[in-house]
């Protein structure tokens, strides 16, 4: 990644891949394949009802009662059905993710990092319609909608997937349905060239870059 905004995105992409795997209801061999112990824990929690969380507004590192920086214990206290998903990144390092069911068909995926010897939430990944930012951007919104809401945008890619975010950074990034190979050179410096028709496929909620 060429910008500061890209430094922490590897695990966010892993969360997105895990989301796709869980939606398909299968566990194939991949960098984010859950370990057997996690699978057994998930099976034991399948009877738990989805979390009753107000997801209507996303702001300031929060998704309803979920917030960036909360501990795993706080996450489980908020949602008893939160299920750990242990995996590894591309270099074999352990990655801790949680799946938080919020309805019979929708799941928020949570990425953790270690801070002060505690595992705390680094980000939330939302790939379903419903939750939206205070500016009205949600999964399904277009890049044109984003441009009309935010005068300045940052842009980069991870694993070829294009992301944009408002500048100054507000702690949320929008994964778009377009890949970097479909864009002309210079799109990072001038995000306005990204087609208005590209749409949001995922919201990534995190702390603003440069803030703890």
Domain boundaries, the chain: 4-126, 134-205
Identify the three-state secondary structure at position 194.
Answer: coil
Query: Among all chains, which residue has been given the structure tokens 């995105």?
Result: 9
> pLDDT per residue over 69-92, tens digit each?
999 999 999 999 999 887 666 566
> pLDDT per residue over 54-74, tens digit each?
888 788 899 989 999 999 999
Write down the pTM of the prediction.
Answer: 0.77
- pLDDT score recorded for residue 202: 97
CB-side neighbour CA atoms (13 Å) of 93: 5
Cβ density class 8-41: b for 16+ within 10 Å, e for less = bbbbbbbbbbbbebbeeeebeeebbbbeeebeee
Residue 163 token pair: 């992301």
């Amino acid at each position: 990644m060429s910008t500061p905004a890209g430094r922490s995105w590897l695990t966010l992409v892993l969360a997105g891949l895990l989301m796709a795997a869980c939606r398909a209801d299968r566990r194939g061999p991949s960098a984010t394949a859950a370990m057997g112990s996690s699978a057994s824990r998930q099976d034991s929690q399948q009877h738990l009802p989805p979390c009753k969380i107000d997801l209507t507004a996303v702001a300031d590192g929060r998704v309803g009662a979920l917030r960036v920086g909360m501990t795993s214990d706080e996450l489980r206290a908020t949602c008893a059905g939160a299920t750990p998903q242990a995996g590894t990144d591309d270099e074999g390092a352990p990655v801790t993710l949680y799946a938080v069911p919020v309805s019979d068909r929708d799941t928020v995926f949570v990425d953790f990092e270690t801070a002060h010897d505690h595992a705390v939430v680094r980000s939330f990944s939302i790939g379903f319609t419903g939750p939206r930012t205070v500016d009205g951007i949600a999964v399904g919104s277009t890049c044109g909608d984003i441009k009309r809401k935010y005068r300045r945008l940052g842009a980069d890619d991870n694993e070829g997937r294009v992301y944009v975010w408002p500048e100054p950074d507000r702690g949320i990034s929008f994964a778009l349905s377009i890949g970097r190979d479909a864009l002309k050179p210079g799109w990072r410096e001038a995000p306005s060239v990204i087609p208005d028709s590209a749409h949001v496929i995922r919201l990534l909620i995190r702390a603003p870059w440069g803030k703890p």
